[in-house]
Structure 1
Amino acid sequence: MSATYYFAIVGATDSPLYEAEFGVHRSENKHLHQFVVHAALDLVEDALFLTNACYLKTVDKYNDWNVSAYVTPSNVRLMLLHEARSEDAIRSFFTDCHELYMKTLMNPFYEPNSPILSQAFDSKINTLAKKYLL
């Protein structure tokens, strides 16, 4: 049985840009996953004062879940809700997701700080999740 992961990209103005679930899909927990991740945003802001690194590791815990965060230089937050997992795998996942997000920003048809609706982006995020998390 595989673990459940919830991944979200949150814009600089705290607006959700993208979200995805990987692993075991439990639709009754989706709103709880969103709540836990978005509740951790304040802890991400606090952690930014303690380091200048993009990868903030685990910023919050809720029951058996951990919330890890990665903050881009433009203050876009990549958030991952997960059970205990290798820090190296999560860091690699975030780094590749950040690169993919940067490529999306360079697309002249993408409006910055708007939801990412691209099927290609979603497919590539799922591929990264399979590579590093599942």
Structure 2
Amino acid sequence: MSYYFAIIGTQDNPLFEYEFGTSKQGGDGQPRFAEQARHLNQFVLHSSLDIVEEVQWTNGQLYLKVIDKFFTNYISCFMTAGNVKFLLLHQPTATAGGGGGGAAAASTRNSTSVGANPTSPQTEEAIKNFFNEVYENYVKAIMSPFYKVNMEIRSPVFRQRVTAAGRKYL
């Protein structure tokens, strides 16, 4: 499964972006987005911001789960109390989509993996744990006296911690 993670500020400006692949069950951590569609990831996430604003007022939770779907991409959202949005675009692997002729090749191991079904309870829990860990690190990063509201996060330590959370949960 491929992931594109972005933190969107209160003025709908990107504060942090990171693209990675799954590290579970033999994954190498490299994103597998199609080259011709890779540049659309940012646009797809930003187009889901209207849906985020609708859902945030009907759902009292910080973790909004899967809020949008664009072709084979799913968008999950986590809201902070300060109205900063964590958006994760995740694209299931081709074998996990269930559409190929290699159904026998896709064993039951794939059907229970995090990347097999983007809306399964296991996947939702893994994404929620990823968001929670990134949120803890985000709070630590913005508590720096040098950070200003809606400023881009450039910390290499924060990027490493997001990478570690991605490897750990996704």
Could you say which residue in structure 1 is the equivalent of 2:130?
93
From the superposition, tell whether residues 25 and 117 of structure 1 become closer, same or farther in structure 2 (CA, over 3 Å): farther
Aligned-partner Cα distance in 2 for 1:28–1:89:
28
Identity %: 41
Residue 29 of structure 1 and its aligned partner are, at CA, apart by: 3.1
Runs of 4+ residues over 4 Å off in structure 1: 25-28
Residues in 1 aligned to 2:9 and 2:69: alpha-carbon distance in whole angstroms: 22
CA shift, 1:52, in A, is: 1.2
Unaligned residue ranges in structure 1 (runs of 5+):
none
Match of 1:38?
A: 46
Q: Which residues of structure 2 form unaligned runs of 5+?
A: 22-30, 92-116
Q: SS of 2:147's equivalent?
A: coil
Instruction: Compare CA radii of gyration and give the structure with the larger one.
Output: 2
Which structure is higher in strand share? 1
* Residue 60 of structure 2: aligned partner: 52
Amino acid at match of 2:162: I
Q: Does the alignment pair 1:61 with 2:84?
A: no
Task: Supply the distance in 1 between the matched residues of 2:36 and 2:157 (Cα, whole angstroms).
Answer: 27
Matched residue, 2:147: 110
SS, match of residue 49 in structure 1: helix
Which residue in the other structure is 2:106 paired with? none
Select which of 3, 8, 16 maps to 1:10.
8
Aligned partner of residue 117 in structure 1, secondary structure: coil
Query: Secondary structure at the residue paired with 2:150?
Result: coil
In structure 1, what is the Cα distance between the partners aligned to 2:133 and 2:80? 12
TM-score (normalizing by structure 1): 0.92
Aligned to 1:125: 162
The whole-number CA distance in structure 2 between the counterparts of 1:25 and 1:61 is: 18
Q: Tell me the amino acid that sits aligned with residue 41 of structure 1.
A: L
- C-alpha root-mean-square deviation of aligned residues, in Å? 1.2
Task: Give aligned pairs, total.
Answer: 131
**One-letter code aligned to 1:59:** I
Instruction: State how far apart, in whole Å, the 2-side matches of 1:43 and 1:79 are.
Output: 12
1:106 and 1:51 map into 2 onto residues whose CA distance is 28
